Amino acid sequence: MTDVPDTTPTTLTGPHPALRSLDPLVGAWTISGPGGKNGGRVRYEWSEGGGFLVQHIDLLQDGQPTRGVEYIGYHKDTDTLRSHYFSTTGETLEYVYELADDTLTIWFGEAGSPAKYTGRFTDDGSVNTGGWTWPGGGFESTMTRERS
């Protein structure tokens, strides 16, 4: 007998419980980095039905505009919060998210990758300070919640 993958559609009534760990990200944030070469604005919101956390991105990275949308969802095969980023220029990237206690980690590609963002939230959750690092480089950034 051949193993056949289960293709039965899954009906969600809201975000997967693991995805709810990213609730503190929901809202608009101003991003700032050193020298004005990195920064801008991002906004996180739940998709209709709550199956994904959606990030809208409008940033400068090394002085170059970066715009796009990222969909973050629960990946049951790897038990991770995996995202797919789509830039306005057609670039597609994948990340893995983890928010544990006050620390947000975003790995480029797979969990454990040396290319990652690590930042800590203040007690009130209004600021996340950290930075992106990768072999041979990186930069610091601060994410500040915008008041509605």
Q: What is the model's pLDDT at position 36?
A: 74
**Rounded Cα distance, 41 and 143, in Å:** 9
Q: Is the pLDDT of residue 2 over 60?
A: no
For 51-84, the pLDDT digits (tens) are 999 999 999 887 889 999 999 999 999 999 999 9
Q: What is the model's pLDDT at position 100?
A: 95
Helices H / strands E in the chain, number of each: 0, 10
Fold held by 19-145: Lipocalin (2.40.128)
Q: What percent of the chain has pLDDT over 90?
A: 78
Q: Are 127 and 145 in contact (CB under 8 A)?
A: yes
**Joined tokens for residue 114:** 């040396």
Highest averaged pLDDT of the listed ranges 7-16, 34-43, 67-76: 67-76
- pTM, whole model, 2 decimals? 0.87
